[in-house]
A and B are shown apart, each in its own frame.
Chain A
């Protein structure tokens, strides 16, 4: 495969932090085709939407501080959690972990000069800001208020018809962006690895992005189809899902979850990859069980496609279907467990550098295990029938998506910030950020397990007063979590502008992104990249060897 060579840059002028870089910020607002610029565009844009989603969450928790519906009107409350969920999934985690980290790291890790389709890559990114603005703008005329699941007939009979239509439109645009990005990742990973790099010489992050992209390619078109049909029902009065015209609302649920369950793996698989990169570098040990981790990503990808109806155990699905999806769901625990145990074994006996990247990575394992265990319990049909649509579910998926994905994203940001910006983050404020996040997160979401078990349904603005005191604890935790974002935000902005300069390889990492400058030049390396060691050959005394090594795996 020929590698795309945009133009031969005069290498000298691309040394980082030279005066010639003044005005380089303009590039971040342009239709740049540099995968590194696009990666940072993704990360900054999605983080902006994360702040919006977080602000919505704060209003939700403020409303829930009291059992009565007294802070915002009930319709608006439903709009708040609908847009909160949609923003956090489609505008933060999915694009941040695939588009953000994937774009920035994949070419660097496999020794390529850019992604396979740079223009497509830029197009995929530039679909996101308009879709996001469109979605957020619906607060001016009544946002979709039917939950991020938008089950018909509620979503067809809704009073916020414009808001619902705008919601559908933005989901279709964001889904398209996601598909375009996934095509790019699959082609890049399969065909643009540097000469001599086999599939099993790739860093594990590449395996996880490959698996996640496969899921996106198979599942997202189904979501787009469901959205288009829902749009027809809403706007043109068709009856695909409308029972009054002979439609079947449960069919929508199947189509929706056929995408939206794999979406969970799209959101977590690349983060698994991030953790597999951060742990070896900061524990100074090879990743434990490389092949087991690589294969388990693929197995999760396959199993993840056949578990969707576990979201529908109370939807009137036939019994045999419930049993099939229960078994498939429970089996996901096995490859996931392999990963968790392999990470723990990587830590064991290492020389742990307990700074922000590793703290967030260990925090990830710790919190993700809680979400995984509650997930196995929910996989059991009888258990789920009681807990479906309760706060236990809210607790479960926040442990997976916040305790999992967001902790992992933070680990990745602390780890690669020096590479991306050429500046070090302040370690003290990094630790402050970690401890505030960890405490706030658990304070907010741990008590929700109890709320759900005791009988509090989700998506309600008013609830039984017996749950009032626990909800106050959750709200305090949520506010602490909101506050915890500020140390990070100021740290990132301040460090980027005038932080301590980073060396090319501040952590002594062995993957290829650390062999170029910080930040890397356009086209990534002056000459051809050279692989001197395998990605995880720590403790083998190979770091200073001049000879390129034969593949170790």
Chain B
């Protein structure tokens, strides 16, 4: 190989690497990140995208170059050079991807562990492992990533939390019931049942998920978190919201004809706003106890037709099952604590 050829190759590779590094950091493909878990996710995603873009450019570049450079001249019926293999090349393109995917595996494992709140994995645990995961085990292998994620939390947030939430270390438990085609959120130790989810900023939230009829999936794209809700099986999801705002809750598992309409909203509020909302809701519950209706504020994103539909669904569903939501809830408590 002559010198100028080497220079060209080095320059091209350099361009590919810098282009993919730049795109990996500036892709803008993801929605805003509104939870600590989402920030972790985004750095992993950007790294993987960087590698993917580099390989993409390399392969497509060689393909296009080959199509131009090695195109058969008209009338040339000869064959190409009979090269059958090249040991060094083959070792390289076996070893490099192997190292890359092992690195991806380790990095993903790390991020996943931290997303599971730095607790050790529940090796060999039973099926509803997500639930068993959090049985008070201390952060045994909390590594550097944990501190990273804490730094991301704004100082402002942290002080708010300290001022207003007494048991900061305990996650805020909320029960979530998925049913065709709505979400119902119950706040433990209160009688609040709503169709919208309110959580305070900066506090770890633990959702205890269950399903009334078929499988649904609870997904907040801005948190990068998703978990199926499965009838007869308790699952859970933990996250720490770190940006004020309203985000969609999307059902991501096909659950019937109106699957696309099964949406709700999560409101990430300051702890003060959250407390105010909680108080208000508790008063509402007390006032409307006679009606026996569940408090379900219409979600603003859906049109009137959809809201009506959801109300109708809630009523018909519970009638169809011959149970009211209260008994369903107690049922759920039984299953999730056994």
Decide if A198 is an interface residue (CB 8 Å cutoff): no
Chain B 24-45 against A: per-residue CB contact (8 Å), 1 yes, 0 no?
Answer: 0000011100000000110011
Residues of B within 8 A of A459 (CB): 254, 259-260
Decide if B62 is an interface residue (CB 8 Å cutoff): yes
Decide if A333 is an interface residue (CB 8 Å cutoff): yes
Q: Once bound together, how far apart are the Cα atoms of A69 and B226, in whole Å?
A: 25
Decide if A501 is an interface residue (CB 8 Å cutoff): no
Among B70, B82, B93, B126, the residue within 8 A (CB) of A347 is B70
Decide if A306 is an interface residue (CB 8 Å cutoff): no
- Contacting pair B112 A464 (CB below 8 A): no
Decide if A454 is an interface residue (CB 8 Å cutoff): yes
Residues of A within 8 A of B213 (CB): 153, 157
Residues of A within 8 A of B97 (CB): 333-334, 337
Decide if B266 is an interface residue (CB 8 Å cutoff): no
User: How many chain B residues touch A (Cβ–Cβ < 8 Å)?
Assistant: 91
Residues of B within 8 A of A243 (CB): 230-233
Residues of A within 8 A of B82 (CB): 285-286, 537-540
Q: Once bound together, how far apart are the Cα atoms of A374 and B55, in whole Å?
A: 11
Across the interface, name the chain A residue whose C-beta is closest to B260: A460
How close is B212's CB to chain A, nearest CB, in angstroms? 10
Query: A318-B127, A377-B49 are known contacts. Are A382 and B108 too (CB-CB below 8 A)?
Result: yes
Residues of A within 8 A of B318 (CB): none
Residues of B within 8 A of A149 (CB): 254
Q: Which residues in window 299-324 of A have CB below 8 A to B?
A: 314-320, 322-323
Query: A320-B122, A330-B104 are known contacts. Are A74 and B221 too (CB-CB below 8 A)?
Result: no
Residues of B within 8 A of A540 (CB): 79, 82
Residues of B within 8 A of A450 (CB): 29
Q: Could you say which of B84-92, B185-193, B197-205 contacts chain A?
A: B84-92
Residues of B within 8 A of A491 (CB): none
Residues of A within 8 A of B98 (CB): 331, 334
- Contacting pair B232 A538 (CB below 8 A): no
Residues of B within 8 A of A77 (CB): 257
Across the interface, name the chain A residue whose C-beta is closest to B216: A154
Residues of A within 8 A of B310 (CB): none
- Contacting pair B108 A380 (CB below 8 A): yes
- Contacting pair B63 A78 (CB below 8 A): no
Pick the most buried of B63, B79, B233: most chain A CB atoms within 10 A of its CB: B79
Chain A 426-441 against B: per-residue CB contact (8 Å), 1 yes, 0 no?
Answer: 0000000000000000
- Contacting pair A366 B63 (CB below 8 A): yes
How close is B179's CB to chain A, nearest CB, in angstroms? 12
Q: Could you say which of A30-38, A49-57, A171-179, A383-391 contacts chain B?
A: A383-391
- Contacting pair A319 B221 (CB below 8 A): no
Residues of B within 8 A of A449 (CB): 29
Among A344, A385, A389, A538, the residue within 8 A (CB) of B225 is A385
Query: A455-B250, A457-B252 are known contacts. Are A383 and B45 too (CB-CB below 8 A)?
Result: yes
- Contacting pair B108 A289 (CB below 8 A): no
Query: A351-B80, A386-B41, A539-B79 are known contacts. Are A340 and B230 too (CB-CB below 8 A)?
Result: no
Decide if A463 is an interface residue (CB 8 Å cutoff): yes
Query: A338-B94, A382-B41, A454-B221 are known contacts. Are A249 and B230 too (CB-CB below 8 A)?
Result: yes
- Contacting pair B52 A314 (CB below 8 A): no
- Contacting pair B101 A334 (CB below 8 A): yes
Across the interface, name the chain A residue whose C-beta is closest to B256: A154
How close is A246's CB to chain B, nearest CB, in angstroms? 8
- Contacting pair B70 A154 (CB below 8 A): no
- Contacting pair A340 B233 (CB below 8 A): no
Chain A 96-134 against B: per-residue CB contact (8 Å), 1 yes, 0 no?
Answer: 000000000000000000000000000000000000000
- Contacting pair A249 B66 (CB below 8 A): no
How close is B328's CB to chain A, nearest CB, in angstroms? 13
Residues of A within 8 A of B55 (CB): 369, 373
How close is B134's CB to chain A, nearest CB, in angstroms? 12
Residues of A within 8 A of B128 (CB): 316
Residues of B within 8 A of A326 (CB): 105, 108-109
Decide if A255 is an interface residue (CB 8 Å cutoff): no
Q: Once bound together, how far apart are the Cα atoms of A377 and B89, in whole Å?
A: 25
Among B80, B85, B89, B121, the residue within 8 A (CB) of A350 is B80
22 contacts between A and B (CB under 8 A): A151-B215, A153-B215, A154-B214, A154-B256, A285-B81, A286-B82, A320-B122, A340-B59, A345-B86, A349-B80, A350-B70, A354-B72, A370-B56, A385-B227, A386-B41, A386-B225, A389-B226, A389-B252, A454-B31, A459-B254, A462-B261, A540-B79
Extra 16 A-B pairs, beta carbons < 8 Å, given A326-B105, A326-B109: A74-B258, A147-B254, A244-B232, A292-B85, A318-B129, A334-B98, A338-B94, A345-B83, A348-B62, A349-B80, A350-B66, A351-B73, A380-B108, A386-B221, A453-B29, A463-B260
